[in-house]
Amino acid sequence: MITGERMAVVDENAAALGVSQKQLMESSGHALARTIRAVADTGSTIAVVAGRGNNGGDAFVAARFLEDYDLTISLLGRAERIGTDIARENWDALQRAGFDTQEVTDSSEFDLPECDVVVDAMLGTGISGDLREPAASAAAAINASDATVVSVDVPSGFDANDGDHGDDGVDADHVVTFHDTKPGLADLAADVTVADIGIPAAAERFVGPGDVRLARPDGREGRPYIIGGGPYTGAPALAAQAALRGGSELSFVAAPDAVAGEIQGYSEDLIVQPYERDDDVLTPETAQDLLETAQEYDNVVVLGPGLGTADETLEAARQFLESFEGRVVVDADALRVVPNLETDATLVCTPNRRELAGMGGPDVDDLEAAADEVEAFAADLGHLVLAKGATDVITDGERTRISRSGTAGMKVGGTGDTLAGIVAALMTYADPLEAAAAAAHVNGLAGERLAETEAFGFLASDMLKEIPAALWNETDE
């Protein structure tokens, strides 16, 4: 099962793999025509009622395979306002071939012809709520007719994401949905056909531009709270700066007073807050202070970069996570306390291969080959895992994505810290799995951009300036 929102991601990823939207529309239209032929007797009259999106485009393709029927195609709106080039191309093909087409520019002009079968291709999976004109009038006419109704992908007015179905939607007898069934279709009285339209499994499995588009913020949003530093100062600074580059409006770092100035020195854009207590490392007492701050503001927390492995620090990390109920990216040394942890927090754990094995996960060189093992480990752990390697595996124990972006030059220290910051930035806006998958891809793309001119000589700090381009311009690469 796949939501309409996720289906748009898969379509975009398929295009990045070389399976174009035009190819998919041709496959969808052909599949639709097969179902129409199955329900329409020889000599039947068929009326296609199409919208200006790709849903209508699918029906335009189908019409070419139904030329031996008495066929009419009604477009709701003006042809020059068809929303995509490929849908417009298929409309133009029908007109040049002499099909019976008409444009309906006003709801009062819509008149459903007498027909045996009506094809509802008005609206697809991206629509929710009650229909607007002229679709509302068209849907009413379709529902009032005695014709067999075949809907394309979902009935118009059916919400394939959140179940916000319109009260005036189309009552379909048959639904031809593409690639996979959609949430709620099984509850309809209609016969549902799931048509394979040739989308590779890789479009769902591998992170691509669709995943990035879904997870990235529309603007500045979020104020991640990075708890790190002590023995090491660069790690929390990199994570905090990466969060800013990933769209956060502010980035806070809580660190021991002894190193706060050094962390601030990396960038004037950070807000560095020294511990109130005179501790050189994170202690349980300080962790309680930080917990109160984190609970008050409910921002995404990044716990771990540069913390060190002192016994009192690990105990402090454990106590923080056990008491916190918000969203946390757990990285580096803090990962040691996650196994057997009892917490209501939403954790995204970002271990490298060595840290993954130390947590009790698979000890392997090839994470992609061991993706099923990583998924099983995440299920047992009860938390989302973003396992970092030459290929990244992102899994919540049920759903798994693979990110293949990146370059050998990213073996340099600090790239995991930039990743943690990007995850935190995107978690403000997106579902944790979506945020983690997109962040892994963006972090790798940032490295790839640098590798075009300096294959092995760049630093993690160099990647910071590439994050915005990788995140917002990724589909233009």
pLDDT digits (tens, 9 = 90+) for 17-63: 999 999 999 999 999 999 999 999 988 999 999 999 999 999 999 99
pLDDT digits (tens, 9 = 90+) for 370-393: 999 999 999 999 999 999 999 999
Q: What is the pLDDT of residue 184?
A: 86
pLDDT higher than 50, residue 140: yes
Amino acid in the structure at residue 319: Q
Contacts with 326 (C-beta within 8 Å, 6 or more apart), sequence order: 294, 295, 298, 299, 300, 301, 345, 346
The answer to whether 156 is a known ligand-binding residue is yes
Pairing of β 301-303 and β 271-274: unpaired
The ranges of the chain annotated as CATH 3.40.50.10260 are 4-200
The answer to whether 129 is a known ligand-binding residue is yes
Phi and psi, residue 387, nearest 5°: -85, 125
DSSP label at residue 343 = -
Q: What is the pLDDT of residue 473?
A: 82
Q: What is the pLDDT of residue 475?
A: 44
Phi and psi, residue 146, nearest 5°: -95, 5
**Topology of the domain comprising 209-476:** UDP-N-acetylmuramoyl-L-alanine:D-glutamate ligase (3.40.1190)
pLDDT > 70 in the chain, percent: 98
Q: Is 430 exposed, middle or buried (0-12, 13-18, 19+ CB in 10 A)?
A: buried
The answer to whether 2 is a known ligand-binding residue is no
The answer to whether 151 is a known ligand-binding residue is no
Q: What is the pLDDT of residue 129?
A: 74
The answer to whether 13 is a known ligand-binding residue is no
Give me the torsion for CA of 191, 196, 197, 200, rounded to 10°. Answer: 150
* CA distance readout (Å), 154 to 67, 104, 167, 245, 247: 24, 22, 15, 39, 35
pLDDT higher than 90, residue 147: yes
* C-alpha neighbours within 13 Å on the C-beta side of residue 429: 24
- Element at 289 (helix H, strand E): helix 284-297
Q: pLDDT band at residue 290, thresholds of 50, 70 and 90?
A: very high
What is the pLDDT averaged over residues 142-146? 95
Q: What is the pLDDT of residue 272?
A: 97
The answer to whether 130 is a known ligand-binding residue is yes
Backbone CA torsion sign across 375, 378, 382, 385: negative
What is the pLDDT averaged over residues 439-457? 93
The answer to whether 396 is a known ligand-binding residue is no
In our burial notation (b when 16+ CB lie closer than 10 A, e otherwise), range 402-428 reads bbebbbebbebebbbbbbbbbbbbbbb
Q: What is the pLDDT of residue 64?
A: 96
pLDDT higher than 90, residue 143: yes
Contacts with 366 (C-beta within 8 Å, 6 or more apart), sequence order: 389, 390, 391
The answer to whether 143 is a known ligand-binding residue is no
Amino acid in the structure at residue 193: T
What is the pLDDT averaged over residues 101-114? 89
The answer to whether 125 is a known ligand-binding residue is yes
The answer to whether 120 is a known ligand-binding residue is yes
d(CA 343, CA 318): 9
The ranges of the chain annotated as CATH 3.40.1190.20 are 209-476
Q: pLDDT band at residue 474, thresholds of 50, 70 and 90?
A: low
DSSP label at residue 129 = B
* C-alpha neighbours within 13 Å on the C-beta side of residue 312: 11
pLDDT digits (tens, 9 = 90+) for 112-131: 999 999 999 998 876 777 88
The answer to whether 363 is a known ligand-binding residue is no
Q: pLDDT band at residue 76, thresholds of 50, 70 and 90?
A: very high
Partners of 176 in the β-ladder: 152, 193
> Given the structure tokens 């998924």, which residue do they identify?
375
pLDDT digits (tens, 9 = 90+) for 274-288: 998 888 999 999 999
Cα Rg for the chain, rounded, in angstroms? 27
The number of beta carbons lying within 10 Å of the beta carbon of residue 186 is 10
Residue (of 165, 108, 89) closest to 131 by Cα position? 165
pLDDT higher than 90, residue 299: yes
Domain 4-200, CATH class in plain words: alpha beta
Q: What is the pLDDT of residue 167?
A: 82
d(CA 7, CA 301): 30
Q: What's the mean pLDDT when you consider all of the chain?
A: 94
In our burial notation (b when 16+ CB lie closer than 10 A, e otherwise), range 70-88 reads ebbbbbbbeeeebebebbb
The answer to whether 124 is a known ligand-binding residue is yes
Contact 183, 151 (CB under 8 A): no
pLDDT higher than 80, residue 198: yes
Q: Is the peptide bond before 134 cis (omega within 30 degrees of 0)?
A: yes
Contacts with 4 (C-beta within 8 Å, 6 or more apart), sequence order: 124, 125, 126, 154, 159, 160, 161, 182
Q: What is the pLDDT of residue 158?
A: 87
The answer to whether 202 is a known ligand-binding residue is no
Report the Cα 449 to chain-centroid distance in Å. 22
Kindly report the length of the chain.
477
> Given the structure tokens 């930039």, which residue do they identify?
418
The answer to whether 416 is a known ligand-binding residue is yes
Contact 177, 196 (CB under 8 A): no
Backbone CA torsion sign across 266, 300, 377, 404: negative
The tokens describing 381, both together, are 């752990």
pLDDT higher than 90, residue 235: yes
The answer to whether 128 is a known ligand-binding residue is yes
Residue (of 33, 24, 133, 30) closest to 76 by Cα position? 133
